Structure 1
Amino acid sequence: MSEKPVSLLGRVARPRLYEQLMKQILSYVESEQLGPGDHLPAERDLAEQLGVSRATLAQALVALEVLGVISVQHGTGAVLVYRPSIATVLRDLREHQNRLPEIVEARSTLEVKLAALAATRRTDEDLAGIEKALSVMEDEVGKGDRGAHGDELFHQAVTEAAHSPVLAQLMTFIAEMVLETRLESLGQPGRPEQSLASHRKIADAIKAQDPDLAAAAMQAHIELVSDVALLK
C-alpha cells in the first residue's frame, strides 16, 4: 500500500479583522472618490456601517495613520492624506509588521539605559522638564486625546536628563520608527491612561535617583506599549 503524498500546500492565513476593515475603508474611499483633505465619516458612524465596535475600528484607523494614508486629530476625525491602492497598503502593512519587533528591541536597548543614566545624572532642571511633559500628557488624556505629544515630550525629557550625546543621537535616528509604535500603542483602548501611569513610575525613580528602579520601570513601560494589535 503506497503512502499518501506529502502536500506542499500550506494553510492560507486568515486576514485579521483590522486588515479586512482597512480594505473596506479604502474601498469606500475609492467609491466615494475622496481626495487628500477629505474627511472620512465619524468613527461612530463608520463603525455602525461596518458592523464592528469602535475599538476594532480604531485598530484599522491607527494602521492607516501609521502608514500615512490618513491623519487622525482629536475633535476633527480622520482626514485622507492620499489615496493609495489596496495592494500598496497591504504590502506596506506587511513590511511594517516585520519591522515592529526590531523597533521594540531598539527601544528596549536604548531607553532602559537612558532611564538609568537619567536617574544618576539628572538635574533639577531636567526634573522640571520631565514634570512638564507629564502635565502635557495628562492634560491631553484628560481631554480625551491619545496624549501622543506629551508622550513624545516625556521620552525626550528622559533622554535629555541622561546627558549622553551619543545615545541621544541614536534616539533621534530611530525617532520616526518610534512614532509608529507610539501611535499604535496609544490607539489601544485604555492605553493612554496606562502609559501615563507608567511614565509616572519612571519619573519617580529618576527623581529618587535610583538607576535600577528607573531601568526596571522603563523596561516595564516598553513591554506595556509594545502590546499592539499589529504584532498579534
Structure 2
Amino acid sequence: MADQIRPVNRPRLYEVIVEQLCDHIAARDMQVGERLPAERELAGQLGVSRASLSQALVALEVQGILSVRHGDGAVLVRRPVGDMAIRALREHADRLPEVIEAREALEVKLAELAAARRSDDEMRAIDHALDVMEAEISGGERGVSGDELFHRAVTAAAHSPLLARLMGEIAELIRETRIESLSQSDRPRSSLEGHRRIAEAIRREDTVKAGRAMADHIRLVSDVELLRAER
C-alpha cells in the first residue's frame, strides 16, 4: 500500500516572528547586551500586533536568547544559531503538556504535605515569598522571582526529600512555563492571588484545601498562548 501524502504544516505566526527576529539579530550583527527596538516600533516594522510580537519575544526569553524586562525592552543575552531557535520553540511547545502533568502530580501532593508538616519558620518563608512577588508586581515586574520562591518554600515545608529531588530535576522546565505564564496580561496578579489561597490553606493546616488550591493554581497558570495556538 502506497504511503499517503501528508499535509504540509504551515508555520504558526509566532514561529515566523521568531525567525524574523533571529534574522534581524544576525543581519545587524547584534552583540550581547544590545537592545532590540521598542516593541511598538518592532511590531510596526514586522507588520504584526504587539500581542503576537510579545509571544515571540517570550519564546526567545524562555530559550535564554533575550531578556525582556519592564522599562528596559528586550536585551540580547545569547546570539541564536541557525534555525535552532525554531527547533527549540517547537520542542518547548511539545513538552509543555507533560510539564503541566508533572507539576499537577508533584505540587498538589507537596501542598497537602506542607499543610500537614510545615513549621512556623516555614510558614514565614511562604509569606515572605508572597511579599516578594507583591513587591515585584507593584513595581511593574512579572513576579518571577517571588513565584519561584513561593513554590520552593512550599516544597521545603512538605519535608519530602524525594519529591523535592524530583522537583529539582524538572526545575528548569518549570522555569520555562513560569516565564511563559507570567508574561501574559493580568496573569501575575491572578497568580499571586492563587498563591495566597494556597498559603492560607497551609496556614490553617487544611490539607484538602491546600491540594485543591494548588490544583486550581496550576490549571490557571498552565493556560498559555503557546498551547492555545497548538489546539
TM-score normalised by structure 1 residue count: 0.92
Partner of 1:93: 89
1:85, distance to aligned residue in structure 2 (A): 3.7
Match of 1:30 in 2: 26
Residue aligned with 1:39, SS: coil
| Displacement after TM superposition at 1:184 (Å) | 0.4
Contact 1:23–1:86 (8 Å) recurs in 2: no
Distance 2:226 2:211 in 1: 26
Tell me how far 1:86 sits from its aligned partner.
Answer: 4.6
Task: List alignment gaps of at least 5 residues for structure 2.
Answer: none
* C-alpha contact 1:55 1:188 (8 A) present in aligned 2: no
Tell me the equivalent position of 2:79: 83
- For 1:201 and 1:180, locate their aligned partners in 2 and report how far apart those are by CA, in whole Å: 23
Number of residue pairs matched by the alignment: 228
SS of 1:189's partner is: coil
Deviations 1:53-112 (A, max 9, x none): 322211101100111211223332211122224521111112222221111111111100
- Report the Cα distance in structure 2 between the residues aligned to 1:194 and 1:14, rounded to whole angstroms: 34
Q: 1:7 offset after TM fit, Å? A: 8.5
In structure 2, distance between residues paired with 1:143 and 1:42: 20
Q: Deviations over 1:154-211 (max 9, x none)?
A: 1011111111122112111111111010010111111111111111111111111111
Please state if 1:43 is matched with 2:9.
Answer: no
Select the structure of larger CA radius of gyration. Answer: 1
Unaligned 5+ segments in structure 1 are none
Identity of matched residues, %: 57
Q: Where do residues 15-26 of structure 1 align in structure 2 (5 Å cutoff)?
A: 15-26=11-22
Length-normalised TM-score, structure 2: 0.92
- 1:198 paired with 2:214, answer no
Letter in 2 for 1:179: R
Root-mean-square deviation (CA), in Å?
A: 1.7
Q: Which has the higher mean CA deviation after the structures are superposed, 39-48 or 99-108?
A: 39-48
Look up the equivalent residue of 1:198 and give its one-letter code: G
| Structure 1 position 12 matched with structure 2 position 8 | yes
Moved over 4 A (4+): none
> Is 2:104 the counterpart of 1:104?
no
In the alignment, the residues of structure 2 paired with residue 54 and residue 138 of structure 1 have an alpha-carbon distance, to the nearest angstrom, of 26
